[in-house]
């Protein structure tokens, strides 16, 4: 959720998501996790390409916009997961 909130804030000049947007995103994320788990354990019938397309198409529009403008980096993603980044460990 931290990456999603950060992406949204960057695109929307520091604004935070509304209560409705936050809950729509949570609802979407919970569904993504369930479908990905199903696909991962080979219980689904979609190819990886179909799964990717399906999940992207079902992403709320306000987050498609935010994600499309978000500057991804390994350090930024790892810092959101609590992992040590190259910058913080001197590497």
For the stretch 8-46, pLDDT in tens is 888 888 888 999 999 999 999 999 898 888 888 877 688
- Determine the pLDDT at residue 66: 87
Q: How far apart are CA 10 and CA 4, in angstroms?
A: 10
- DSSP state for residue 82 in the 8-state scheme: T
pLDDT at 26: 93
How many angstroms separate the CA atoms of 24 and 74, rounded?
A: 26
Tell me how far apart the alpha carbons of residues 55 and 32 are, in angstroms, rounded to a whole number: 7
Q: Is the pLDDT of residue 83 over 80?
A: no
> pTM for this one?
0.67
């Amino acid at each position: 959720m931290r990456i999603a909130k950060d992406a949204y804030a960057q695109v929307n000049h520091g604004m935070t998501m509304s209560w409705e947007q936050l809950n729509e995103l949570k609802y979407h994320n919970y569904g993504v996790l369930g479908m990905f788990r199903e696909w991962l354990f080979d219980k689904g019938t979609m190819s990886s390409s179909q799964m990717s397309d399906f999940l992207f198409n079902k992403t709320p529009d306000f987050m498609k916009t935010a994600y499309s403008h978000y500057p991804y980096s390994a350090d930024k993603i790892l810092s959101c997961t609590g992992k040590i980044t190259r910058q913080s460990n001197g590497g």
